[in-house]
Amino acid sequence: MAVRGEGCYIEDDGGYRLIDVNNNFTALIHGHAHPVVHDAAQCAMRDGMAFGLPNMLEIEHAQLMMDRLRYVDQIRYTNSGTEAVMLAVRVARTVTGRDGVIFVRKAYHGHSDIALVPGGANSRRGVPAGVVEDTVEVSINDIGELTAAFDRLDGKIAAVMIDPMPNRAGLVTVDPEFWQAARALCDRTGALLISDEVIGLRLAYAGAAMSMGVVPDLIVMGKIIGGGTPVGALAGRADVMAALDPLDGGLEHGGTYSGNPVTMAAGLAAMRLYDGAAVKRLNGLGERLRSTLTGIVTAHGWHVRGGGSLFRPYPGHLTPEETRAAHTTLWWAAYDRGVLMTQSCQGALSTPMTEAIVDDVAERIGDAVVATASSG
Ligand SMILES: Cc1ncc(COP(=O)(O)O)c(C=O)c1O
């Protein structure tokens, strides 16, 4: 049980203090209770928590995001990344008049019915067969498989959805060539390219797809843009986002708390602080951590995946089931050594971290990996 957090530290109900590299599943880009983010949220709260009218903070947040992501003209807020993905799929289907959606196998895009399909049989429980039939999965970075999917379902694909570094697919970076192939296939067939940057936005100032030289038709965001409060967003070109225009018979989309001023104020403060220099600094710390950790774990048959401010230690030559078990052992070993990771042992850095803290994290996790590897 978590009791409190401050900066890059979290304290559990036994009074045990850990360095937090879980950061609420990558959302807390500035760690816990950052004073500027906290004050912004508190200040907004004093003027009312939520209104049945749009509010000025929503406009300010949208303006900031559009200044940053120059290729988007409009943005729609939701309460979670899951909702934003649902909306992205519905917009793509409406704009194209088609139903098919291509995902990368094993990638996680939230827990709507369609988003659960690429997760495999276990994730699909309770998902109707019709939803599964509208979904195509391709292996990450397999351009041949992607091209074959378009050929096979000629004229039926509404969208390709790509997470730039899908954790559940192994925290592997999507290659620029794969992005470019997806862009070209979408252009040729009229399908939309959706970049799901609910996590990936932290990797690059103007978004991860853009950093690969590709402009998506729609971008899904969440996590860091809410400054630690619940959030999601869908943004895109005006002609695509026109499907949502309430003045022109737009699609049904609501959310009692979507765009609420507290989330918008916290998000604005967080995103202002996470400027180009902050992104560069945090990515540099990520590089440092991966390099130090790699130096410790390689001799024990493990390697380190990730990029930017994300990392994940991986055992070599194990089956997926053995890997899952090894990650569970590692999670506890890291906890025992004072580091909180995500359950899949993904780590995400936060801006309060320094080089000394990152080196300390690498040493502690390295030691946890060595203990895990020798436990068999
Ligand atoms: C790539 C991606 N898309 C969508 C989601 C869903 O976001 P949320 O948990 O805010 O519903 C997640 C959550 O981790 C995610 O990683």
- Reported as a single tens digit per residue, the pLDDT across 98-129 is 999 999 999 999 999 999 999 999 999 999 99
- Of 77, 108, 274, 314, the active-site residue reads 108
User: 217 and 287 in one domain?
Assistant: no
- Within 10 Å of residue 161's Cβ, how many Cβ atoms? 28
In the annotation, is 187 catalytic? no
User: 316 and 224 in one domain?
Assistant: no
Give the confidence band of 178 by pLDDT, cuts at 50, 70, 90. Answer: very high
Q: What percent of the chain lies above the pLDDT cut of 70?
A: 100
User: 347 and 307 in one domain?
Assistant: yes
In the annotation, is 196 catalytic? yes
- Mean pLDDT throughout 32-50? 98
Among 245, 273, 301, identify where a domain stops: 273
pLDDT on residue 135 = 96
Give the confidence band of 154 by pLDDT, cuts at 50, 70, 90. Answer: confident
Token pair for residue 32?
Answer: 């816990």
Atom 3 in ligand 1: residue holding the nearest Cα: 109
Nearest in space to 233 (alpha carbons), one of 247, 250, 213, 253: 253
Q: How many domains does the chain have?
A: 2
pLDDT on residue 317 = 81
- Within 10 Å of residue 16's Cβ, how many Cβ atoms? 13
31 and 5 in contact (C-beta within 8 Å)?
A: yes
Atom 8 in ligand 1: residue holding the nearest Cα: 81
Read off the amino acid at residue 131: V
User: 284 and 269 in one domain?
Assistant: no
User: 259 and 131 in one domain?
Assistant: yes
Among 241, 273, 305, identify where a domain stops: 273
Tell me, what CATH number does 76's domain have?
A: 3.40.640.10
Please give the distance, rounded to the nearest whole angstrom, from the Cα atom of residue 223 to the centre of ligand 1. 8
User: 113 and 23 in one domain?
Assistant: no
In the annotation, is 274 catalytic? no
Among 258, 273, 288, identify where a domain stops: 273
Token pair for residue 202?
Answer: 């932290």
pLDDT tens column, 289-326: 999 999 999 999 999 999 999 999 999 888 999 999 99
Please give the distance, rounded to the nearest whole angstrom, from the Cα atom of residue 110 to the centre of ligand 1. 5
pLDDT on residue 255 = 94
Tell me, what CATH number does 340's domain have?
A: 3.90.1150.10
Please give the distance, rounded to the nearest whole angstrom, from the Cα atom of residue 300 to the centre of ligand 1. 32
The β-bridge partners of 141 are none
User: 162 and 108 in one domain?
Assistant: yes
User: 323 and 259 in one domain?
Assistant: no
User: 111 and 69 in one domain?
Assistant: yes
User: 10 and 66 in one domain?
Assistant: no
User: What is the distance between the alpha carbons of residues 345 and 361, in angstroms, rounded to a whole number?
Assistant: 13
User: 140 and 204 in one domain?
Assistant: yes
pLDDT on residue 249 = 92
Domain that holds residue 179: 36-273
